[in-house]
Chains A and B, each alone.
Chain A
Amino acid sequence: MSGFTVFLQQLANGLVLGFLYGLIAIGLSMVYGLLRMINFAHGDVLMVGVFIALPVSWMGAPFPIVLLSGIAAATAVGGLIQWTVFRPLIRSRDVTLLVASLGVSLLLQNVVLMLTSPQPKRPSPEAFLDAPFQIGGVFLRNVDLMIVALAIAFVIGTHWFLQHTRPGLAIRALSQDLGAARMMGIRVPRMIFICFLVGSALAGVAGVFIGYKYGHLNPYSGFLPGVKAFVAAVIGGIGSFPGAVVGGIILGLLEVFLVGYLPDALAQFRDAYVFLVLILVLLIRPSGLFGRAEYVKA
């Protein structure tokens, strides 16, 4: 394999991973934009989604049904924790919400652990998704193509929702000034709930695909992708919708290229590099790529 082909292969792998991060980051970023809250349970919502999709897959359901069940489960869990845990805390300080989300994260992990087992699981193989194909020396599977195509479709759909619908307009207003949004007659709790639903649904999509692409799922599988997606959101500028997607792609590429080109001894610390990137971004440009510069009128 020539050096250039290797580069292209890494590029493709990085993009696929990046789109997964982007899908997860959108929910985190939206919620942060509204509540200034870092939702540590977001990754675990994704995990619950997959863990409900798994038995559906084992029962022999076709892929679209598995995907839908994962989305539905993640959306339901995301909505449920928002309604029962975060909504009553909405007036408390940011730290309270953050700690609550950590608590929910541990709760979800342990409930799933209790009901299943720590043994890694994977969905029943789907011949179509696993089928390999090759373009210009780059080897991919259909699942990679699906990830990119569906991620783009969902991103465009969410963007359209935010820009062109009444609730979308309300959500954007909310993220700028929650108090003023109330004065407009916007039902703030309902809008926040909608945001959680949308973000959780997108996490559910990512979850099912992670299952098909990597297999190897256990009750802790959601936490790290969740935290990494948070890093992606910070890179893109937390609170910004395009930022979440672009940040995800940048992070995916960085991770894959570092692992691909660093010597083996260093490459094994792939997760550490992600957080190194986080620290660098926070030092150099804390508002991220698309972040709002603090609006100051002297």
Chain B
Amino acid sequence: MASPALELDRVSINFGGVRALDQFSLALQEGEIRGLIGPNGSGKSTAFNVITGLNNPDSGDVRMEGRSILGLRADEVAARGIARTFQNLRLFGAMTVAENVMLGTHLSRDAPGLVPTLITAPRFRRHEAEMRERSEDALKSLSIVEYADELAGSLPYGVQKRVDLARSIVARPKVLLLDEPAAGLTEHESRQLMDLVRRLHEELRFTLLLVEHDMHFVSSLCPRITVIDFGKFLAEGAPSEIRANDNVVTAYLGTGKLEGAARDADARGSGAATPPVVAVRDLEVRYGAVPALHGVTIEAQEGAITAIVGANGAGKTTLLGAIAGVAPPWRGGIFHRGEPIARRSCEERVAAGIVLCPEGRRLFPEMTVEENLRLGGYKVKDRAAMAQALERVFDLFPHIADRRGQRAGTLSGGEQQMVAIGRALMAKPSVLLLDEPSLGLAPNLVELIFETILEISRSGASILLVEQNASMALEIASRGYVLETGRVALSGSAAELKARADFVEAYLG
């Protein structure tokens, strides 16, 4: 058999005493599509960084077609034909889509040297023309030609993801690494992406390594899956084998026990006789001249969980931001227990108990877990009350109690999310605004987060929950709103919305 297209051979790497990878091995045959899954912080991104030369392993080897690529700089690795996309998009926002994609051709293996480039020799011009053509092809195969001249930063997230993908394939890589391509996409978008990746693979025959939390996505795309946990190899096999593997279920997939646990959520909050704890009327928010919300009206009942779902760019984050006071309204009203608060400052709203747990966590990375939490309770001036609030957070998330002295930036994604929710709770919110709390988390952690949200709700707080994971959000919510391009497209009790699942789904695409 030929040497594997890509091989990690017993790779180990330490970060400040933590084993990020521990004798981890992985071999991909040419043209293979392989899924790499594992809990947050298990070493998936590190494996990518080792392959692309961003991190140097302490021991072990990385080979491409039998030749070691260890110690090469990131650009040299790229020149060998390895391309990647990033979990958090790294597009150049102020450049057009076409320019972003053209940049990818710099990685091409047959690029002319400096001299031909400077004197624009015929060889350079031929190359340029060819690269331009390739970029256009890439734009076409990802169906984003119509966005070619728009600034990448101004496009919806789903489109940006495709631009990133176009940029990575334009140099015709032999090996493509995709880091959570479906994160942040709706089910509809992620299905489209799946088809796209499949088509590209048939067309270009690259070897593909894919990190992804969306098990459905991985299972339908990858004939074989490797599971990593604590930097170690845990299992490998066909999707069905992986799903049946007890170790994997415990470490990663979770048991799906949330269903039914949420039933009592329906009972509370449905008594609509009480006035809403938060009401938004005809709210319009603009970014510059661009309206993000036009005339949104919603109500959140006291003590209930209200879910806000919708596609990327529908205005969900803007809506929570407006309620929290970080996105100033253009017109319309926001009311807290009947009192208008649209003109109040963010810090007055925090003092009134309206607290936002923002998208992307926004922890203070250089500060310790405890300092982050103390900042969350900034308005709590009483020492005893502060200590009590800290205890409560640590009770809720025992895992982060052990890490109270650790810098927040060094935590894994799941731990960071726990700190972010904990930090919001420190302010003793009566209204908790949660923006995408499950984004980018492994399924077992998603479950934990949702259970925690239920627990917070049981303790009396009213919750507005923005979630990509619409079905799970509706599972624990009592009422739901579907936003579409800045308008409420649909609303009703969570049960009603769930019953019309396909209808809701249409809006999520």
Contact = CB atoms under 8 A, between A and B. Distances in A.
User: A and B bound?
Assistant: yes
Contacts of A188: 347
Nearest to B413: A297
A169, A170, A186, A298, most chain B CB atoms within 10 A: A298
A183 B350 contact: yes
A188 B347 CA distance: 9
A183 B367 contact: no
A136 B54 CA distance: 53
A285 interface: no
A177 B362 contact: yes
B356 A295 contact: no
Nearest to B87: A298
A297 B45 contact: yes
A169 B371 contact: yes
Given A183-B356, A184-B378, A298-B86, A176 B350 contact: no
A295 B176 CA distance: 25
Interface in B77-91: 86-88
A179 B367 contact: no
Contacts, number: 72
B398 interface: no
A185 B364 contact: no
Interface in A157-177: 166, 169-170, 172-173, 176-177
A185, A187, A292, most chain B CB atoms within 10 A: A185
B366 interface: yes
A156 interface: no
A268 B110 CA distance: 54
Interface in B164-210: 179
Given A185-B346, A295-B409, A176 B364 contact: yes
A157 to B, nearest CB: 20
Contacts of B378: 166, 169-170, 184-186
A185 B366 contact: no
A180 B350 contact: no
A297 B54 CA distance: 11
A68 interface: no
Interface in B332-359: 346-347, 350-351, 355-356, 358
Contacts of A184: 350, 375-376, 378, 423, 427
Contact of B366 (A169, A180, A292, A298): A292
A182 interface: yes
B138 to A, nearest CB: 22
Interface string B49-88: 1000010000000000000000000000000000000111
Given A176-B367, A185-B378, A298 B54 contact: yes
Given A169-B371, A292-B366, A295-B409, A183 B48 contact: no
B20 interface: no
A186 B348 CA distance: 9
Nearest to B45: A298
B487 to A, nearest CB: 26
A181 interface: yes
Contacts of A182: 326, 346-347
Interface string B362-380: 1111110001001110110
A298 to B, nearest CB: 5
Contacts of A298: 45, 48-49, 54, 86-87, 179
Contacts of A187: 347
B324 interface: yes
A298 B324 CA distance: 30
A170 B375 contact: yes
A179 B86 contact: no
A169 B88 CA distance: 29
A169 B423 CA distance: 14
A170 B367 CA distance: 11
A183 B45 contact: no
Interface string B274-312: 000000000000000000000000000000000000000
B471 to A, nearest CB: 28
A180 B367 contact: no
Nearest to B380: A185
Nearest to B381: A166
A169 B365 contact: no
A181 B347 CA distance: 10
Contacts of B366: 172, 176, 292
Given A170-B378, A292-B366, A179 B326 contact: yes
B176 to A, nearest CB: 16
Nearest to B362: A180
A173 B45 contact: no
Contacts of A179: 326, 362
A295 B365 contact: yes
Interface in A178-218: 179-188
A169 B347 contact: no
B324 A183 contact: yes
A185 B325 CA distance: 10
Question: Which 4 A-B residue pairings sit nearest by Cβ, starting from the closest?
Answer: A185-B350, A180-B362, A185-B347, A176-B364
Interface of A: 166, 169-170, 172-173, 176-177, 179-188, 292, 295, 297-298
Given A295-B365, A298-B48, 18 more contacts: A169-B374, A172-B364, A176-B364, A176-B365, A176-B366, A176-B367, A179-B362, A180-B358, A181-B375, A184-B376, A185-B427, A186-B378, A188-B347, A292-B366, A295-B409, A297-B45, A298-B86, A298-B179
Interface of B: 45, 48-49, 54, 86-88, 179, 324, 326, 346-347, 350-351, 355-356, 358, 362-367, 371, 374-376, 378-379, 381, 409, 423, 427
19 contacts: A166-B378, A166-B381, A169-B374, A169-B378, A173-B364, A173-B375, A176-B364, A176-B367, A180-B362, A182-B346, A183-B326, A184-B423, A184-B427, A185-B346, A186-B378, A295-B409, A297-B45, A297-B88, A298-B179
